Amino acid sequence: MACKGVSMLTRLRILCSLVLSAACVPALFAGGGHEPSAGHNLEIFSWWTAGGEAEGLAAMFDIYHGKYPWIGIFNATVAGGAGSNAKSVLATRMRGGNPPDSFQVHAGHELIDSWVVAGKMEPITFLFRDNGWLNAFPAGLVKIISYNGEIYSVPVNIHRSNILWYNKKIFAEHNLKPPESLDDLLSLSDALARAGITPLALGDNGIWAAVHLLESVLLGTMGPTKYQGLWSGATDWSGPEVRASLTRFVSLMRYVNTDHAAMSWDAAVQYVIDGECGMTIMGDWAEGYFKAKGCTPDKEFGWVPSPGTRGSFLMLSDSFGLPKGAPDRDAAVKWLTVAASREGQDAFNPKKGSIPSRTDGDRTLYDVYQKSAMDSFRSDTIVPSVTHGAAAAESWVNDIQDAIALFMCDLNVDRTIAALERAARKYVK
C-alpha cells in the first residue's frame, strides 16, 4: 500500500515526546518556542505517542497554547499502547502524592474504581454545570463518569474497539470480501495464507492487544446480551459460549504473524499498510495511525465491524480528570475546559480516529470512516470494552490479562476457562 510519508514536524514531535528532555517538549508542542513560565505550567500525562494519537494530542495543545500562551505545557507521555506502561507509572506517582495536573483515564470502571473510590480525584460537577456541558454530552456517558452524584472527568472522545481493518489492494488482487462472521474470517485467513500472505496482524508485546482481539471474538461469538452478562454475572464463564470463543481464538492464532509477541499495536497496523499482513482487529485509533502514515480511508484501507459483531459498538472513551493536589489546578481546569470544548474535540478527534464525545461535533470535519462510526454509535447496541476500562474494574482486567498471557503461550482452553472463571468469581457475586 503506497501511503504518503509522515511530515517532518510530526516526526519531530513524536521523537521529542519519546526521547528528549521534559524542558524541550513544551516549546515544540506549544507551537513555536513558548517556554514554560516560572509560575504556570500544565503537565498532561498520557500514553499517546504513536501515529495519530500524538498528532491529536498536539492539536489540543495548540488550542490550549493559543488561548493561554503564558502557560507552559509539559507533555508527559509514557509509551505503550492502552496505557500498558503508563498506568503503573501513574499509580506510583499518585501513591507518592506526586500527581500530574491531569491524566488520561478511561471513562467507566477504570476512572471510578481505580481513582474516584480511592478518594484521589476532585469532583468536577461544577464545570459541567457552569459551562452547560450536561446538555453537550450523552447522558449515558455522563453516568459512567459519575459516582455518588458527582462527575469526575471530561470524556474527550468515543472510540470503537471492534473493527477489522484490511489492505484493500490485497483484497482486490485476491478477489476477497471482508469477513462478516468468525467462520468467514477463518476461511478468508486460509485463502490468504495459501496465497502466501500472513492473514492477521497482531502486536501483543503489551498483552492487552491479545485481550483486545479476544473481546471482539467473545462479542462475535455470543452477541451483545451474553457479552454484557460476562460483566454482570449473568453469563457463565465456564459456559459453552466462552469455550467456543476461546476455541476460535486458538484457530485464529494459526494465522497471525509469528513475531506478534515482539510487536506493538501500531507495528501490527504497519504490517497491514506494508502488505505484510492482510488485516488486523484493532480499535479505531488504528484509523488515526493509518492517516498519520498518509493512507486514505476507503482507498488504501477498508474496514468492517469485527466478524460477528455488526450491530454492536464495543465502546470506550478517553477522558481527563482533576487529581487532588494537582500542582497547577488552575492550568488543569483550563485544560479540562479545552478538552470538553467543541473546538478542542473537533481538533483532536479527526486525527485520533475517534469521534467526539460531545453530541454537537462538526460532522463535516470527519472522514468517511468516522462518519460511519458516528452513525453506528447512534444506531448500534453499545457494549463496553473490557480491555479499555469500560466494562470491569482494572484489577479484574489485570487478572484477565494474566490468564491470557498464559493462554498465548499454551493455548490451553480448559486451563484458561478455569482462570477466567476464578477471576470472575472475585468480582461478581
List of residues contacting ligand GAL (CB under 6 A): 47-48, 53, 81-83, 106, 159, 265, 285, 316, 318, 388
Q: Which is nearer to ligand GAL, 192 or 211 (CB)?
A: 211
Q: How far is the CB of 159 from ligand GAL (least distance, A)?
A: 6
Q: How far is the CB of 141 from ligand GAL (least distance, A)?
A: 14
Q: How far is the CB of 234 from ligand GAL (least distance, A)?
A: 26
Q: How far is the CB of 316 from ligand GAL (least distance, A)?
A: 6
Q: Which is nearer to ligand GAL, 109 or 248 (CB)?
A: 109
Q: Quick count: other Cβ atoms within 10 Å of Cβ 130?
A: 9
Q: Which is nearer to ligand GAL, 83 or 323 (CB)?
A: 83
Sequence-distant contacts of 142-146: CB under 8 A, at least 24 apart? 144/107, 144/108, 144/112, 144/317, 144/390, 145/107, 145/108, 145/111, 145/112, 145/319
Q: Which is nearer to ligand GAL, 265 or 290 (CB)?
A: 265
Q: Which is nearer to ligand GAL, 300 or 318 (CB)?
A: 318
Q: Which is nearer to ligand GAL, 248 or 291 (CB)?
A: 291
Phi-psi region for residue 196, left (φ > 0), alpha (ψ -120 to 50) or beta? left
Q: How far is the CB of 144 from ligand GAL (least distance, A)?
A: 14
Q: How far is the CB of 251 from ligand GAL (least distance, A)?
A: 26
Q: How far is the CB of 250 from ligand GAL (least distance, A)?
A: 25
Q: How far is the CB of 79 from ligand GAL (least distance, A)?
A: 9
Q: How far is the CB of 327 from ligand GAL (least distance, A)?
A: 24
Q: Which is nearer to ligand GAL, 128 or 348 (CB)?
A: 348
Q: Which is nearer to ligand GAL, 241 or 284 (CB)?
A: 284
Q: Which is nearer to ligand GAL, 248 or 293 (CB)?
A: 293
List the one residue out of 213, 188, 202 whose CA is nearest residue 276. Answer: 202
